[in-house]
Amino acid sequence: MVRKKSEPNPADMIVDISDERQWSRTRSGRAASTARHATGETDGADNEASSAPASAIILAVEADAKRPAMYKLAVAVEGQSEQALISVHEDTLVALRLLKDRRLSPDEWEMLRKEQEKEEAYRSALYMLDFKARTQAELRRGLVRKGYAAEAIDGCLERLARQGYVNDAVFAQRFAEQRVTGQKKGSRLVRQELMQRGVDKREIDEAIKGLDEQVERSSALALAMKRWPSVKGKSERERQMKLMNMLLRRGFPGAAAREAVRQASTSAAEAEEWDTPEEPYDEDGLE
């Protein structure tokens, strides 16, 4: 009687991820199984596997010691000679009941692969956030450059927002305050920079509205006082106009810029008067 050939049973290749020595055994076992099928030698387990509709089977599940709430899975995929190693969040593990020996349908395996890509995108985004705070648009551009799919990026950004790691409204507020006080930039330039970073107009308006006008005027004056001595011109008026244009380019409102120029030039003139040497005191001229 001719015996029917069947595909290898993925359950025969179950491996404990925690013991790396088992990997070599798994590879040798897989090779032996392939050889048996080439000669037509099969058993009942093989026949059962060949009739199963599952496209993959979970060989091992292990908690990731380096990443809390993450789990590593070893998966044997139908039609592939090598095992797939993926990482999933515990929420996915529980929702899909991803236990050892669990068979996965094609749809489930595809969903699991997408969850894996979301996790990789999430880890990549966290790495970018370690260097500096970023907006959602900045993170999206960075993840696109790294080649992640749009669905994975969307899921990653939703997760980051839910956990509070990315918040464009908070970013805009802190960014505006730091630029005005630390870098001596005006609100108009700050608005432009926030737009370039992809922040929503409504959130930009709220951030600009929250700026203290007195703080912005103080920053304009501090910058004007610093730059006034180096401004060249044939006349006082020319120097004032040059300084005025510089403050406007830095994004300060016209009224704040004019007041800063007036105070800077007036303070400089008063300082020059105090620095003018007096005539020597002549005691012989006294009676």
Fold for the domain defined by 106-166: Arc Repressor Mutant, subunit A (1.10.10)
Q: Quick check: 26 and 15 in contact, CB under 8 A? A: yes
DSSP assignment string, 220-249: HHHHHHHHGGG---SSHHHHHHHHHHHHHH
Q: What is the CATH number of domain 167-211?
A: 1.10.10
pLDDT value at position 257?
A: 95
Q: For residue 115, give both structure tokens.
A: 């969850």
Residue 14 pLDDT > 70, yes or no?
Answer: no
196, burial (CB in 10 Å: exposed 0-12, middle 13-18, buried 19+): exposed
Residue 224 pLDDT > 90, yes or no?
Answer: yes
pLDDT value at position 36?
A: 44
Q: pLDDT tens, 52-67?
A: 434 889 999 999 888 8
pLDDT value at position 81?
A: 81
Q: pLDDT tens, 235-250?
A: 989 999 999 999 999 9
Q: Quick check: 171 and 235 in contact, CB under 8 A? A: no
Q: pLDDT tens, 19-54?
A: 444 433 443 444 444 344 444 444 444 444 444 434
Q: Quick check: 88 and 70 in contact, CB under 8 A? A: yes
DSSP assignment string, 99-110: -TT-EE-HHHHH
More confident of the two residues 165 and 116: 165
Residue 205 pLDDT > 80, yes or no?
Answer: yes
Q: pLDDT tens, 67-116?
A: 888 888 899 988 888 888 888 888 888 888 888 988 888 888 888 888 88
pTM of the model: 0.67
Q: For residue 36, give both structure tokens.
A: 């048996």
Q: pLDDT tens, 100-156?
A: 988 888 888 888 888 889 989 999 999 999 999 999 999 999 999 999 999 999 999
pLDDT level of residue 279 (50, 70, 90 thresholds): low
